[in-house]
Amino acid sequence: MTDELIVAVEGAVGRIRLNRPKALHALTTAMCAGVLDALEAWRGDAAVRCVVIDHAEGRGFCAGGDIRMLADSGAGDGAEARAFFHTEYRMNHRLFTYAKDTVAFMDGITMGGGVGISQPCRYRVATEQTKLAMPETGIGLFPDVGGGWYLSRLPGRIGQYLALTGHRLDGAECLALGLATHFVPADRVEEAKAAIAARPDDVAAALDGLSADPGAAAILAQRADIDRLFASDRLEEVFAALAADDGDFARATLATLKAKSPQTMKVSLKLLLDGRTMPTFEDEMRQEYAVGSRVVQRHDFLEGVRAVIVDKDNAPRWDPATPEGVSDHVIDQIFAPLPDDEAWTPN
């Protein structure tokens, strides 16, 4: 077990705590493997009634995956990146199909891989400190870890908006959209964990008793604009709709999209289009693994990491630079199924 993960059984509760505070608890391959090991150990242990996932010290629940490692690997043969995705997606799938109650406390930054580890849980607790986003198109990636499944099932076209823009949701918005099942004030989170420990067979009641009204969800005020402007599954038509609208929201949103990778924005739209009718979460993970194993070695991801994380000039040079430059053929190549001996499997 890695020291980046704290695993313990406290009474009837299995506890998994992410423990990389200097990296905002970003996930490593070893951490994902550790979560899998813990879930497997508790699966047949009648003494463990439910599982709680949270973070140790620090201001974030989980900022995502180890992006620097993925970029370094992607610049080479991509083997380490594929190993990470393979293990992380198995963890996502295991949580999605886990029989016992699982609870994620999304207190603080919850992005990328943090969304992937929290959304499969039966109970997902937001606070006023929650900042949930899938910002991957800004570094030439796409909302993976089940993003094609979760975002495609949000009301209207909100999922497409979130996937393309990387917009950050607060706790009230997470609750309104169903990305959180409960809203608990941050200063009562430890109380909520104690309530679960006292009632491990009735997690819902434990959380219901501490839930609060988070107030209005700001994103719902933009729902009509989002549904209209993001109605198309073709990126060129989204850009055209935004450019034709003279409202402040459309102008700001178009400026945001112009900074993102056209290639991975197109990947994201197809991912959500496919994900909405994907038969099972296992099928979703299999497709995302095929897509991720290719995207991580393409120019835009390496360039996005250089611009945002390494050099920090925030001036990525995307190639192609425009939506029109990204051909349907390239997208089809990225989405092509892997050979059976290379494909993702749940076990």
Tell me if 321 is assigned to some domain.
yes
Tell me the pTM: 0.96
Q: In the 8-state DSSP scheme, what is residue 320?
A: S
150-192 pLDDT per residue, tens? 999 999 999 999 999 999 999 999 999 999 999 999 999 999 9
Catalytic residues: 65, 113, 136, 144
179-237 pLDDT per residue, tens? 999 999 999 999 999 999 999 999 999 999 999 999 999 999 999 999 999 999 999 99
pLDDT the model gives residue 288: 98
Rounded to whole angstroms, the Cα distance separating 288 from 294 reads 10
Burial 233-243 (b: 16+ CB within 10 A, else e): eebeebbebbe
Tokens of 177: 């959209």
pLDDT the model gives residue 57: 83
Tell me if 340 is assigned to some domain.
no
Domain that holds residue 246: 5-335
Contact 236, 262 (CB under 8 A): no
Tokens of 10: 């406290």
Rounded to whole angstroms, the Cα distance separating 156 from 149 reads 14
Residues 6+ apart with CB under 8 A from 97: 281, 346
255-299 pLDDT per residue, tens? 999 999 999 999 999 999 999 999 999 999 999 999 999 999 999
Tell me if 343 is assigned to some domain.
no
What amino acid is encoded at 198 in this protein?
A
Tell me if 149 is assigned to some domain.
yes
Mean pLDDT of the chain: 97
Tell me if 344 is assigned to some domain.
no
Rounded to whole angstroms, the Cα distance separating 249 from 229 reads 10
Give the 3-state secondary structure of residue 60: strand
Query: Domain with 9 in it: what CATH number?
Result: 3.90.226.10
Tell me if 15 is assigned to some domain.
yes
Tell me if 345 is assigned to some domain.
no
Tell me if 261 is assigned to some domain.
yes
- State the pLDDT confidence band at 2, using cuts at 50, 70 and 90: low
Number of structural domains in the chain: 1
